[in-house]
């Protein structure tokens, strides 16, 4: 996963979201720039993409065409963001559990 972005020519770190299309690897943030001018980066426009036989054109919906629905098949999240949300969740849990523990301990001591 740690390669070089073919759009901005910067290194793709292991915690970055790596977007791959048309055999090219790029940062997720560079995807929009690639799609706007794919010819400039050696790619093909969505209308030029062909299937493996080279005979039949593959239908690729653009923004102008109306989509009937969506199928979610994969979720790619950068490691750094997932780690940060995990730390926040842990700290929030501690902020709730520690005072609650003291309240329960005091309540148990007073009831005896």
How far apart CA 110 and CA 13 sit, in angstroms, is 56
CA atoms within 13 A on the CB side of 100: 6
Local structure of 80: helix, strand or coil:
helix
The answer to whether 16 and 78 have CB atoms below 8 angstroms apart is: yes
Q: What is the pTM of this model?
A: 0.34
Query: What is the pLDDT at residue 1?
Result: 47
The two tokens of residue 51 are: 């299937």
Query: What is the pLDDT at residue 100?
Result: 95
The two tokens of residue 63 are: 């923004």
Q: What distance separates the 2 farthest-apart alpha carbons in the chain?
A: 84
pLDDT per 10-residue tile (average), the chain, 112 residues? 74 72 76 76 60 51 59 86 96 96 93 82
Domain residues of the chain, as ranges? 1-61, 77-112
Query: What is the pLDDT at residue 23?
Result: 73
DSSP 26-54: EEGGGHHHHHHSGGGGT---GGG-B-TTS
């Amino acid at each position: 996963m740690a390669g070089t972005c073919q759009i901005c020519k910067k290194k793709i770190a292991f915690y970055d979201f790596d977007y791959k299309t048309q055999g090219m690897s790029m940062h997720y943030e560079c995807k929009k720039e690639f799609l706007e001018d794919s010819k400039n980066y050696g790619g093909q426009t969505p209308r030029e993409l062909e299937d493996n036989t080279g005979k039949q054109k593959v239908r690729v919906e653009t923004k102008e065409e109306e989509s009937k629905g969506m199928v979610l098949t994969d979720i790619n999240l950068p490691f750094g963001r997932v780690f940060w949300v995990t730390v926040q969740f842990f700290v929030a849990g501690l902020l709730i559990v520690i005072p609650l523990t003291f309240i329960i301990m005091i309540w148990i001591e007073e009831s005896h």
